[in-house]
Structure 1
Amino acid sequence: METSSTPVSTTSVGMRYGLLTGLVSIIFSFGLFAAQMEDSPIKYVGYLVLIGGLIMAMRYYKASNFGFMSYGEGLGIGILVSAVVGALSAIFTYVYMNVIDPDAVSRMTEKVRAGMEEGGKLTDEQIDQSMAMAGKFMNGPFMVVAVVISSVLVGLLLSLVISAFIKHTKPEFE
């Protein structure tokens, strides 16, 4: 494992790997949207992209800081990477659904409606109310905020685990 002579900051590593992971995530999401597979199980590969980005960022930070990374530093890097990925994904999703393919929202809502009708537990009136409410949240600023918050929460949970494995704290009296 190589070490550099000048340590890097958690912010610079988080931003760099957040941008790289975000770009990979956008390319993957574009492929899913273009193939109209946004509801397929393949969408969970996006979590593997985030996990890979978090691991690479923490390993780079550790290697660039003489082999040391505290648990808190790893957690900070993970949250920053997740926030950047979430922001980029939210912007991409908003642009895609409002500019590139405005029919994507109607396709998704129709799939949700069909699922509710198949369930048979809701009346037509309740389904209509649910769809009206969902339509308000799928477009606009609420969707952007929800994507960023959910990305940060998922990144936090993943970072809690990944940091525990990658950390290597400096000895106190050395």
Structure 2
Amino acid sequence: MEKLAASKSSTVLTWGLYLGIASIVFGLIQNYGGLLGNTYFRLLWYVIVIVMLVLGIKNYKEKQNDGFVKYSQGLGIGTLIGLIGGVVYGVFNYVFFTIIDPSVHAKFIAMAQENALEQGATEASLEQAEGIMNFMFNPVILSIIVIITTMFWAFVFSLIISAILKKDPEPEF
């Protein structure tokens, strides 16, 4: 039983770190590649999450659990991979927004204001919403949002991935 728990945690940590690193690379490309706010590029992040979850759950199934994975195991492993990946990416975001490039904060607010104007917001309503935007784009809040969002999507995708990859051991009589 100890070996099983150790193999789960090593799978979760390994693939969670991979997800976090891939998310960091994605975020850097998005920020410095002029793709901030690009909806189609943003979809690529979902693909990254799905790929990491599939690979992580398959790795556990094939290399650490004799070719078997219960639905609940896959769901748990996938969600925890999302948690670890989200924490890695969230910590990086905090460091990035506070130390590496604090100017990105202003870019986020400007982009949000531009989007609001395109949707018909008035200058007066933007001034009223500025406090809320400053709060939402605070590095701590953004990092918390990154962690929750990554874990949420990992959970949702793991619901489906676990159903596809599950294989219960044959009962012995």
- Using structure 2 for the length normalisation, give the TM-score: 0.89
Partner of 1:80: 80
Instruction: Point out where structure 1 has 5 or more consecutive residues left out of the alignment.
Output: 1-5
For 2:12, the aligned partner's letter is G
- Residue aligning to 2:28: 30
Q: For residue 60 of structure 1, what is the aligned residue in structure 2?
A: 59
Counterpart of 2:9?
11
Q: How big is the shift at 1:51?
A: 0.7
Cα drift, residue 54 of structure 1:
0.4
CA contact (8 A) 1:94 1:139 kept: no
> Could you tell me how far 1:124 is from its partner in structure 2?
2.4
Give the count of matched residue pairs.
Answer: 168
Q: % of aligned pairs identical?
A: 26
User: How far 1:129 moved relative to its partner?
Assistant: 1.9
Task: Say whether residues 1:92 and 2:92 are aligned partners.
Answer: yes
Equivalents in 1 of 2:146, 2:20: separation in Å? 13
Displacement of 1:85 after TM fit?
Answer: 0.8
Please give the root-mean-square deviation of Cα atoms over the aligned residues, in Å. Answer: 1.7
Q: Which residue of 2 aligns with 1:109?
A: 109
Aligned 8 A contact 1:79 1:155 in 2: yes
* CA distance in structure 2 between the partners assigned to 1:141 and 1:112 by the alignment: 18
1:98 Cα deviation (Å)? 1.8
Quote the Cα distance in structure 2 between the aligned partners of 1:151 and 1:73: 19
Name which of structure 1's ranges 159-168 and 88-97 shifts more when overlaid on structure 2. Answer: 88-97
Q: 5+ unaligned residues in a row in structure 2: which ranges?
A: none
The CA distance in 1 between the partners of 2:117 and 2:18, in whole Å, is 41
Give the AA of the match of 1:28.
Answer: F
Q: Give distance in 1, aligned partners of 2:116 and 2:22.
A: 33
> What is the CA distance between 1:88 and its match in structure 2?
1.0
**Distance in 2, Cα, partners of 1:50 & 1:158:** 8
CA positional deviation for 1:142: 2.1
SS in structure 2 at match of 1:9: helix
Structure-2 separation of matches of 1:116 and 1:31: 25
Do residues 155 (structure 1) and 154 (structure 2) align? yes
TM-score normalised to the size of structure 1?
0.89
